[in-house]
């Protein structure tokens, strides 16, 4: 499956594009996103980048410079510039670098989708997905690797379980970890963490020996109010209501 990489230093924009394009090209494109040119180049060492959708005006390394660097390992990559600047100089540079297209951020989703459709039509037919080939050792030992990750999560429920922390533990790039975990297990890593915390919290609430405040601290939450809101969102009831429900069940 072809790989589309989105690069924008504004996280809200990058994440929004990622969600929208994943839905628009479900089953046809593998959509990745990151927030800097440095991250993009790291991803390009692990994935074959077929389509690059990049902002032009980014700190440190611009989208124009990223274009040239991405083409070194992946010369067949189609590059689409996405920018808020309707500037002739930007457009002329994009054309000089043989960019596939130059799209203004205000032109809307339909314009962007149709541009990506046209770029996909120009891709070579080959398309052997290189996502897992980028880390053969991980693929060969995946069951053990997944088990190690799950053990780490369960042993650190009261600690930082951010994607970056887990990626450091696994010695993977965060984007690669997120992708390969979802591909292998069929669920998002964040859902696994939530499920582990819910199961642990429910067990502690059933036992009845700890207060909600103590449980929230054990689960790594800054305040019991935040823990209560999170628990209600996950289960549909407050921790206090859940505890009362379990007490009634035990008395029946």
What are the pLDDT tens digits along the chain (252 aa)? Answer: 899 999 998 888 898 999 999 889 988 899 999 999 999 998 888 888 999 999 888 888 888 889 889 988 888 899 998 877 655 455 556 556 677 887 877 778 888 998 899 899 988 765 544 444 434 344 444 567 788 899 999 999 888 888 888 888 877 777 777 877 887 888 888 889 988 988 999 999 988 788 999 998 888 887 888 889 989 988 899 999 999 888 888 776
Q: What's residue 159's pLDDT?
A: 85
Q: What's residue 32's pLDDT?
A: 93
Helix ranges restricted to H, the chain:
11-24, 37-44, 63-71, 88-96, 109-121, 136-140, 142-155, 163-170, 174-185, 189-207, 212-218, 224-235, 239-251
Q: What's residue 139's pLDDT?
A: 47
Token pair, residue 55, equals 């902002």
The domains found in the chain, sorted by start residue, are 3-131 (3.40.50.2300), 134-251 (1.10.10.60)
Q: What's residue 128's pLDDT?
A: 41
Q: What's residue 6's pLDDT?
A: 95
Contact assessment for residue 37 and residue 43, using Cβ atoms and an 8 Å cutoff = no
- CA gyration radius, the chain: 22
Q: What would you measure as the largest C-alpha separation in the chain, in angstroms? A: 77
pTM for the structure as a whole: 0.52
Q: What's residue 133's pLDDT?
A: 41
**pLDDT 10s digits, 212-249:** 999 988 888 878 888 899 899 888 999 999 998 888 88
Residue 27, phi-psi category: left (phi > 0), alpha (psi -120 to 50), beta (remainder): left
Report helix, strand or coil for 153.
helix
Residue carrying structure tokens 């979802």: 182
């Amino acid at each position: 499956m072809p790989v589309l990489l989105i690069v924008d230093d504004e996280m809200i924009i990058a994440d929004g594009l990622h969600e929208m394009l994943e839905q628009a090209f479900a089953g046809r494109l593998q959509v990745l996103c990151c927030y800097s040119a440095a991250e993009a180049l790291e991803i390009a060492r692990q994935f074959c980048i077929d389509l690059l959708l990049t902002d032009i005006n980014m700190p440190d390394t611009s989208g124009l410079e990223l274009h040239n660097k991405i083409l070194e390992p992946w010369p067949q990559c189609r590059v689409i510039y996405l920018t808020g600047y309707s500037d002739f100089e930007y457009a002329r540079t994009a054309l000089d670098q043989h960019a596939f297209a130059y799209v203004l951020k205000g032109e809307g989703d339909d314009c962007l989708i149709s541009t990506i459709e046209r770029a996909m039509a120009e891709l070579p037919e080959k398309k052997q997905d290189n996502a897992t080939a980028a880390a053969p050792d991980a693929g060969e030992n995946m069951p053990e690797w997944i088990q190690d990750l799950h053990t780490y999560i369960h042993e650190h429920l009261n600690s930082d379980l951010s994607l970056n922390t887990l990626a450091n533990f696994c010695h993977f790039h965060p984007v690669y970890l997120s992708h390969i975990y979802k591909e292998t297990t069929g669920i998002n890593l964040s859902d696994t963490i939530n499920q582990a915390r819910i199961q642990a919290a429910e067990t502690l609430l059933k036992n009845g020996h700890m207060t909600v405040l103590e449980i929230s601290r054990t689960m790594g939450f800054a305040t019991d109010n935040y823990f209560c809101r999170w628990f209600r969102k996950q289960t549909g009831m407050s921790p206090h209501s859940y505890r009362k429900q379990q007490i009634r069940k035990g008395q029946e």
